[in-house]
Amino acid sequence: MVEAARKYKRIVQHGTQCRSSAKIREGIQKLNEGVIGEVYMARGIAFKVRAGGRRKPEPVPPGMHWDLWLGPAPEEPYNKLAVGRWRFLKAYGNGEIGDQGVHQLDIIRWGLGLATHPTKVQSLGGRLAHPDDDEDTPGNQVFACQYAGRNLLVTFETRDWYTNSEAGMGIEYPFVDHRNVVGVIFFGREGYMIIPDYSSYHTFLGPNRKPGPSASVTGNPMMDTDHFANWIAAVRSRKPGELFAEIEEGHLSSTMAHLANIAYTTGRTLDFDPSRERFQADEEANKLLTRDYRKPHVVPNEV
């Protein structure tokens, strides 16, 4: 998509709407100004009460083109699990870390100014709370990565059942309900910052966690309208640099989720070459960088 946007000179925005939040943009600016000191670690979380399910073949509903819906994925009978829970099946999605997680991973990259891929990745987890269902992406997953030349650690964790909160997220700073805990924590030498939803940030400074600069909104914190407005403005100006989430940002953030899943699948710590976008001396892992596309739904190698 990045290559296509460049070749055809198109204005393409990625759907990480948090980048269009005025409050979060303010928080990221303060982070870069040193409000919590030098940042040495960032952690994202997605704790959600997710139930699994079963693949039960059924007749295709009237009006649905099942073959087109499957697209490049392997052929299989119609089933409601695939349609309703596609995010958590490897044939169609990337699990919680690729569904919810890409938003928080994007905030981490943005806040830390990470304009490349990580060089070392590892991930462990499994179907722990629901081991007997038919979903095949990890419900519990821990991901960690590091970047060349940067003295910092990035981690991400998903949980798909009952759990505690973290840093007050989901309780003191609830988004929609008290069941889901989603957010980012930046750890600095002088304090920490949390981004507990899609439009807020809060800082806590020193050993006593003294409240520092913060900002939040009331009501629905989703930033869809502002994100579309930013895209439309860039379409009219024909200036990709005005986009808050230009497509290359989406590529870099979504790659983190893919690398996490590949490390999880192989069960190994992997070394990644950002310039070549290949794993070093690991052909098994490199084969997982793409998939076999079911014809005629084939994605070409070249634009």
Which residues neighbour 268 within 8 Å (Cβ) at sequence distance 6 or greater? 122, 282, 285
Q: What is the pLDDT of residue 52?
A: 83
Q: Is 273 helix (H, G, I), strand (E, B) or coil?
A: strand
Alpha helices in 8-113 (DSSP H): 22-33, 66-70, 80-84, 95-99, 101-112
Domain residue extents for the chain:
2-56+94-287
Q: What is the pLDDT of residue 222?
A: 73
For domain 2-56+94-287, the CATH superfamily is Dihydrodipicolinate Reductase; domain 2 (3.30.360.10)
Q: What is the pLDDT of residue 225?
A: 92
CA distances from 73 to 24, 52, 302 (A): 37, 20, 20
Residues of the chain with pLDDT under 50: none
Question: pLDDT tens, 103-115?
Answer: 999 999 999 999 9
In one-letter notation, the amino acid at residue 138 is: P
Q: What is the pLDDT of residue 219?
A: 66
CA distance 253 to 246: 11
Whether the CA torsion 286, 291, 295, 296 is positive or negative: it is: negative
Question: pLDDT tens, 184-235?
Answer: 999 999 999 999 988 899 999 999 999 999 998 876 677 889 999 999 999 9
Q: Is the pTM of the predicted complex or chain greater than 0.75?
A: yes
Q: What is the pLDDT of residue 176?
A: 56
